[in-house]
Structure 1
Amino acid sequence: MVVYCAPRFARGTSGGMDGEFYVVTDPSDDVSNPKLGTLHDVVIQTEPLLITFKRPMTIKLE
């Protein structure tokens, strides 16, 4: 099966199409020094990425 958009919340989007997978593993958020594995780190990247989450988590953005 070929999927041309993201399922669920992001359905209809194509921002990460043809990109690598980025797995968010850490729910912390440090704006001045985003750690690898955080949502803040992935959103500042310039290449297209498919974002997935390792587990259910609550992320409080600063």
Structure 2
Amino acid sequence: ARQLQKILKLDPKTEVFLKRVSLLLTQIAAGDFGGARRRESFEDRPPKVLLKDRPELTK
């Protein structure tokens, strides 16, 4: 029983990770993975690497 408690009392990071994974699986199951919302937010905030490689985007 104590071993199980140790396993269940994971550090907060692992807990957050598990929550994210379950959320991701839920999205995939719902067919929402890589949906329009995700693409829009990606286009709103392009990666810094892109901005560095293409200075015309920062103008």
Higher relative contact order (CA 8 A, sep 6+): 1
- Greater share of strand residues, 1 or 2? 1
Normalised by the length of structure 2, the TM-score is 0.19
Normalised by the length of structure 1, the TM-score is 0.18
- Greater share of helix residues, 1 or 2? 2
Larger radius of gyration: 2
